Amino acid sequence: MQDKNKGWSGRFSEPVDALVKRYTASVMFDKRLAEFDIQGSLAHAGMLAAQGIIAQEDLSAIQRGMAEILEEIRSGDFEWSLDLEDVHLNIEKRLTDKVGDAGKRLHTARSRNDQVATDVRLWLRAAVDDILVLIRELQMSILDLAELHADTLMPGFTHLQVAQPVTFGHHLMAYFEMLKRDAGRLADCRKRINRLPLGAAALAGSGYPVDREMVARTLGFDGVCENSLDAVSDRDFAIEFTAASSLIMTHLSRFSEELILWSSPRFGFVDIADRYCTGSSIMPQKKNPDVPELVRGKTGRVNGHLVALLTLMKGQPLAYNKDNQEDKEGLFDTVDTLIDTLTIYADMLRPPVVENGVVVKAGFKVNKEAMRRAVLEGFATATDLADYLVKKGLPFRDAHEAVARAVRHAESKGCDLADLPWDELRQFSDLVAEDVHAVLTPEGSLASRKHIGGTAPEQVRQAIARAREALKD
């Protein structure tokens, strides 16, 4: 009645129910941990041999068998078995088939509990390193685009209403700053991922003379998890990673919302390359910004994985529980979604490639004229007029009131503040003089904001230069 394929079959008098087998198996999704499982097993075997727990001949056999298994996995020839439940037992069974008793000795001084925690940390550490590279590539695309448009006028918005003039380069650099913090969060999270659980065994540690520090050094961990119960049972490192990922997706979702608005004919600020858009099955004229829309939608999916992981852990007593099998699919999907999103976004924001005056590859295009027209639609320099009066000696609240009346007057005439003659503006404050129009132009507004973090084109270029220097590190 026993199933000899199981690593625990001797305890039971009847086989697992077929539905339960499917319900509890994880191999169909955790097999993506295979290379990291082998990596961890080889480090463990090396330590066992160094400590005299297994013989050198066993270590050689394990190393030979694992090399063959790794090749089978990479070539797609490895046969995964649902009966063997998970990635760990599948690899161990195949190893035993290849090298006999040496394969059976590999599991000495460890449990699947510390084994899986190690595999996930190894896999996630590699994923974080890949994601950090992709964030940098997206930041470079943003810097290149921002540099092209360091002095391109556009309206800055609050409440989605025209507020004050900014440059498109300055607007883009806001997202660079968000991504810089995102990268910092991931780099900091990596420090807590990079601790070794192996050696904690099931929950209480091992009765063998294991050298956990040796395994940590072999696998490139910064150190070991110092409490065996905590090592096998907590997934806070995965939750922290997913929280950081949710913030990255949230930032890109905000950017996506703007791209969706800006690419509509009502704005007409930007044009996204055709390869990131689709058409309509019924309306021939449509060009839909599918990628930004899906980024916006997939953000909810990643946020959902964060909530799922938090909920997964909130009621678990120490130590390991089967609940933790549910930590992987959401984590895997978060990484996949984030990698795809960052990769696509980095390319989507690249400007057209032009050779000899001919566009050889379409890219992200900016309609400068549409952006400038929009600046002139919403009295964007009203605050500049108030500041002008303040510098002439009027208290700000009085200046605010005077300009508000001037805006109402211009609105009634269907023109911008800059279109009103200076002597007509003077009716709202006798401090208005002939020099007033220098501050009422969008360019004048930009030029006045020349402090660090301001939207003056010279400051935008300096911010880009600082950013490029920082990315070199």
The stretches of 76-167 forming alpha helices (DSSP H) are 87-99, 101-105, 112-148
DSSP letter for each residue of 35-67: HHHHHHHHHHHHHHHHTTSS-HHHHHHHHHHHH
Three-class SS of residue 278? strand
Alpha carbons 364 and 342: distance in angstroms, whole number: 16
Give the number of other CB atoms < 10 A from CB of residue 281. Answer: 7
297 class by beta-carbon count within 10 Å (0-12 exposed, 13-18 middle, 19+ buried): exposed
Catalytic one among 9, 81, 264, 280? Answer: 280
Alpha carbons 334 and 91: distance in angstroms, whole number: 26
Is residue 412 annotated as a catalytic residue, yes or no?
Answer: no
Alpha carbons 153 and 163: distance in angstroms, whole number: 13
Alpha carbons 117 and 133: distance in angstroms, whole number: 25
- Angle (CA) 199 204 206, round 5°: 45
Is residue 233 annotated as a catalytic residue, yes or no?
Answer: no
**How many angstroms separate the Cα of 467 from the Cα of each of 8, 136, 144, 145, 429?**
56, 11, 11, 13, 43
Three-class SS of residue 354? strand
**Residue 441 in contact with residue 435, Cβ under 8 Å?**
no
Catalytic one among 159, 281, 412, 451? Answer: 159
**Catalytically active residues, by annotation:** 159, 280
